[in-house]
Structure 1
């Protein structure tokens, strides 16, 4: 983590996480265990991992390049590594264990409430029944709250680099698990590669979800091709409620004004950007957002594939490199509560905790 250690202040701060991909929390130990249990060979392209140590070594690759924009092509991309990890997830119990591992980690980090992203397309296209995914996460949602005290409402994602109609069909399959049914997910979003896949492609899908009583959010990746147009569409055309990433809005005054005037918050993941952005360039942007009145919160994205930096590490980076005060860090934690879609009673509990944090 660039030599930083997590301070006692950040460690003890009550947290809410709004930008976390559940498959991006699949730790090597669980991946190895599931591979053995399901008799799945661990490999990536021509490389096969015969021992746990070889698997661990594979995580030392820095997935910080964009080959579609001329980056390295001799190592796997982030998404290739991410989906390779998914190969060990076959049964309901696998998805349950994945989610419970993350929720247990949340308890250790004083995370009180989370809204994990998930999809079924990455699994159903491998022949995995959708109900294995959905029921596994549903069990974890319920047991994570009772066992660890970590409440969660989940976000169903369309894979944006797949055909829109495939995403719409996946949504129909998953709909019985939405808030009006089993109660697993309460929102929809966009995940996977945003390259030349703007939010407007999914406008009708978003409108359908809203008609079904669900919230809407979308990724607008940092440094991606056409990112400013993606942010503009999200704010003004799709009229999204939240933007995941969206840091490039700072480049355009009209985008900042749109975020502020429409009260659209950003779910930022500083370490994800720090992998390929200089400290002195990246972290002053947090101060710019604060000074500009843009609401944002701090999250971890896909920590297992991002040097094992979780929400506490991301918050420590914001605190240290962003030169934020304790009071400002509490405000960012409050922003996450403001922006989340938890029940009001859950929000009040976390607000009350944050009111007790010593900022001296």
Structure 2
């Protein structure tokens, strides 16, 4: 193990772009399928993993949503989140914000209550048993209607103490941020923080980022690499101090490279770029592997790694007292090295 690999392995980490359904590893799929009396169209986990071939966002999403069929009970959602949070602890993730897609489940007959109670129990147990803190971000699926998103938002309100914010994900084609302006306005009024996916190299990417800034007034942007295509956009993002949750390995499936030069440029511009894992069970890389992949693609120093993690803790949706505690852990790690 090289010096930078060892440094990355041990550094305290913050994960801000993680779809909990995207952590559903093939082995767990088979376990849940057996428990729920379902038959999967693969001989075993290795065959399933070998079938994961994506060349763009839509091809990934088809496999992604099909895989969720095994998630039916509260215990299924608990086991899903617990498996990720255990992996996170092993990778020295100290804090994670977990996206979940309730419409991907309610649209197939699984209740909102079932989904969130399973996830919430795992979050509480991880804090108590693993010393890993996590919060939930509810995402709306942009290829469904704005009316369905609003109904889902209203359904979430009895549980809003368990949800720190809302996001927007899934297929961007023909589904701009402004489609959901009223939903996000109501979400902010209810006290939720706001983020939206602006995936890499999608149709109208820069226009979607502009809408996030000028119409929705988001607190963070997920991905957002194409902000570099427009000086006015990246200048404004830097001025506001908005976080950008970039996911190198998943970038590689969409654009053919990790977006590593974009991350380097964002660092150089003083933007609050962060490195995350997106859907690690499908892209074969959790947050440590994403940082390692970045280090192999470009020259990054321990100071760069520390800056990426400082950025993440600073833009995390946490009280300042907790941010300061995590930043102190980072400083102690740096001094110990």
- Rounded Cα–Cα distance in structure 1 between residues aligned with 2:54 and 2:203: 15
* Conserved 8 A contact 2:26-2:48: no
- Rounded Cα–Cα distance in structure 1 between residues aligned with 2:21 and 2:70: 11
CA deviations over 1:123-158 (Å, ceiling 9, x no partner): 111111211101101111111110111111110111
* Pair 1:358 & 2:328 matched: no
- Rounded Cα–Cα distance in structure 2 between residues aligned with 1:134 and 1:276: 30
- Give the CA deviation at 1:278: 5.0
- Give the CA deviation at 1:5: 12
CA 1:288–1:345 in structure 2 vs 1: closer, same or farther (change >3 Å)?
same
Q: Paired residue for 2:20, among 9, 19, 22?
A: 22
* Pair 1:95 & 2:77 matched: yes
What is aligned with 1:195?
173
- Rounded Cα–Cα distance in structure 2 between residues aligned with 1:5 and 1:101: 29
* Conserved 8 A contact 1:286-1:322: no
How many matched pairs? 335
What is aligned with 1:171?
153
- Give the CA deviation at 1:302: 0.2
* Pair 1:105 & 2:87 matched: yes
What is aligned with 1:216?
194
* Conserved 8 A contact 1:222-1:248: yes
* Conserved 8 A contact 1:216-1:241: yes
- Give the CA deviation at 1:62: 4.9
* Conserved 8 A contact 1:6-1:312: no
- Give the CA deviation at 1:159: 0.7
What is aligned with 2:133?
151
* Conserved 8 A contact 1:218-1:244: yes
- Rounded Cα–Cα distance in structure 2 between residues aligned with 1:63 and 1:133: 28
- Rounded Cα–Cα distance in structure 2 between residues aligned with 1:88 and 1:35: 5
- Rounded Cα–Cα distance in structure 2 between residues aligned with 1:147 and 1:191: 31
SS for the counterpart of 2:218 is coil
What is aligned with 2:114?
132
CA deviations over 1:21-64 (Å, ceiling 9, x no partner): 0000011111101100100121xxxxx22x32xx4223224543
* Pair 1:82 & 2:82 matched: no
**Which structure 2 residue ranges, 5 or more long, are not aligned?**
none
Q: Paired residue for 2:297, among 316, 321, 327?
A: 321
* Conserved 8 A contact 2:103-2:152: yes
What is aligned with 2:228?
250
SS for the counterpart of 2:171 is coil
* Pair 1:31 & 2:29 matched: yes
Q: Paired residue for 2:105, among 123, 136, 140?
A: 123
What is aligned with 1:283?
260
Q: Paired residue for 1:348, among 303, 324, 329?
A: 324
Identify the structure with the greater helix proportion. Answer: 2
Q: CA RMSD in A?
A: 1.8
TM-score (norm 1): 0.89
TM-score (norm 2): 0.95
* Conserved 8 A contact 2:100-2:136: yes
